[in-house]
Structure 1
Amino acid sequence: MTQASPADIMPLAQVMARLRDPATGCPWDIAQDFASIAPYTIEEAYEVADAIERGDMAALCDELGDLLLQVVFHSRIAEQSGRFALQDVIDGITAKMIRRHPHIFCEGTPREDGHAQWEAIKAAERAEKDPDPSALAGVASALPALLRAEKLQKRAARTGFDWPDTGGAIAKVEEELDEVRTAPDQAAREEEVGDLLFAVVNLARHLNVDAEVALRSANSKFERRFRAMEDMAAGEFPALPLDAQEALWQRAKAAEKLR
């Protein structure tokens, strides 16, 4: 059995170098910088997650390629400005993975809880790089809000600042909901709704539910049922009164449960 040759990223890197060539490259690619490309990077990561959720392996292969292109794109921009190159990115992540898995790569190291060891090494690395002593240091502000809320809460929980059980988390959700109801103006309502969302993420964490995954699932369910209502109404859905629309919603919901 012949051994497969290692994956070669260089052809893709060469394509990007050609696209970014100041004299002969693509004007759009040449004009981009880290900030302008960042939204595409985030979008591609979500499209990877969507392909996984749908179980579409052909789409996953395609979307992983798009995500890999983002890594190559950012690396090429950095190389042209003399900051770092694609090889530095590859070398850096390779070294990091080995460093954070001493129980795998270092002979004689006890095979402890790998995740706990990863977190301890990561925290030590973060403290070395960042003088900020806060337990919340390094939680990126650009993360999606639900994910960032969960990460902030997990960091705080490591210091002991956490509800001892789900009862406290549920009570906090109820408290925040009451504060939404009694908010005196729009600014207060916006603040209290934010507090409510934060409390719901905290409850999800206590229930071992991934808030982002749960909301994505709820979005999909709503879209599926709404489209079913539209089909039932045969193009007349917007013209129906609310009680008729609600009846169609209940039909769509019941039909889904029967499948």
Structure 2
Amino acid sequence: MSEAREGEAAPGHQLTRLVEVMTRLRRECPWDARQTHRSLVKHLVEECAETVDAIEVGSPEDLREELGDVLMQVVFHSLLAREDGLFGIDDVADSASAKLIARHPYVYKGAELPSDLDASWELRKRAAKHRNSCLDGIAGSLPALAKAAKVAQREHNGGPDEGSADAEPITAEQAGEQILAIVRRAEASGVDVDQATRDAVRSWERRIHRLERDQRSV
């Protein structure tokens, strides 16, 4: 699938051109020259959000453009890191490849295909990063609802899952409608639903940590 057709350049050959363009802009464009990792954060967040929009409601051309903008951010941060003597774009690509190979032993090492791919991925990730809790590594800056979903995923895949295994199935449409109904009720009651969700997630995380400690002490 990744092999080039006869007469075509191999996929990825334009990445070199992008690195060259970004390197020149870093030297010769005043705006690019003054950027830092921190100053670029808002742009990375915006580009990721615009990519989501392109996937959900945009055209293939929109998606191609937005993916290019995200890739540009990756290259930009890699250039900044190289200037600091830390790593470069090749190191970023190499670490991603190495991680994927290590996390897919059933593809690269002839291991047996796991019955639960999501759970086995989380367990291998947890072991590789020497994490003590299923919640370690969840980004604190995630939006409240996205973080709640991530906590639920981690709890179910390798954590002390108390509820999702027996939870009543729900469709995407039903989930969306019920969430909107709660948002409307909260707004009518003067409740900051985003803050309420963050508080509830923190309480949930504390409960999971307690359960994990109890399990380790048995």
| Normalised TM-score (structure 2) | 0.70
How far off its partner does 1:155 sit?
2.6
Residue 156 of structure 1 contacts residue 162 of structure 1 at CA under 8 Å; is this kept in 2?
no
How far off its partner does 1:60 sit?
0.8
How far off its partner does 1:3 sit?
5.8
Query: Which whole-Å CA distance do the structure 2 matches of 1:193 and 1:146 have between them?
Result: 8
Residue matched to 1:165 = 167
Residue 126 of structure 1 contacts residue 138 of structure 1 at CA under 8 Å; is this kept in 2?
no
The list of structure 1 runs, each at least 4 consecutive aligned residues, that deviate by more than 6 angstroms after superposition, is 197-200
Residue matched to 2:196 = 195
Question: Per the alignment, in what secondary structure is the counterpart of residue 129 of structure 2?
Answer: helix
1:39/1:26 CA distance change after superposition, 3 Å:
same
Matched, 1:4 2:47: no
1:91/1:111 CA distance change after superposition, 3 Å:
same
Residue matched to 2:118 = 115
Q: Which runs of 5+ in 1 are unaligned?
A: 201-259
Question: Per the alignment, in what secondary structure is the counterpart of residue 71 of structure 1?
Answer: helix
Query: Which whole-Å CA distance do the structure 2 matches of 1:124 and 1:45 have between them?
Result: 29
Equivalenced residue count is 178
Query: Which whole-Å CA distance do the structure 1 matches of 2:23 and 2:134 have between them?
Result: 40
How far off its partner does 1:26 sit?
0.8
Identity among equivalent positions (%) equals: 35
How far off its partner does 1:194 sit?
3.0
Please, what is the CA RMSD of the aligned residues?
3.0
Q: Which amino acid aligns with 2:114?
A: E
Query: Which whole-Å CA distance do the structure 2 matches of 1:156 and 1:103 have between them?
Result: 24
Query: Which whole-Å CA distance do the structure 1 matches of 2:194 and 2:125 have between them?
Result: 33
Q: Which amino acid aligns with 2:136?
A: A
Question: Per the alignment, in what secondary structure is the counterpart of residue 74 of structure 1?
Answer: helix
Residue matched to 2:139 = 140
| Normalised TM-score (structure 1) | 0.60
How far off its partner does 1:198 sit?
7.3
1:60-89 Cα shifts (integer Å, max 9, x gaps): 111111111010000001000111100000
Query: Which whole-Å CA distance do the structure 1 matches of 2:8 and 2:114 have between them?
Result: 33
Q: Which amino acid aligns with 1:10?
A: T
Query: Which whole-Å CA distance do the structure 1 matches of 2:137 and 2:93 have between them?
Result: 22
Structure ranking higher on relative contact order (CA contacts 8 Å, 6+ apart): 2
1:176-195 Cα shifts (integer Å, max 9, x gaps): x79x95xxxx8xx44x7633
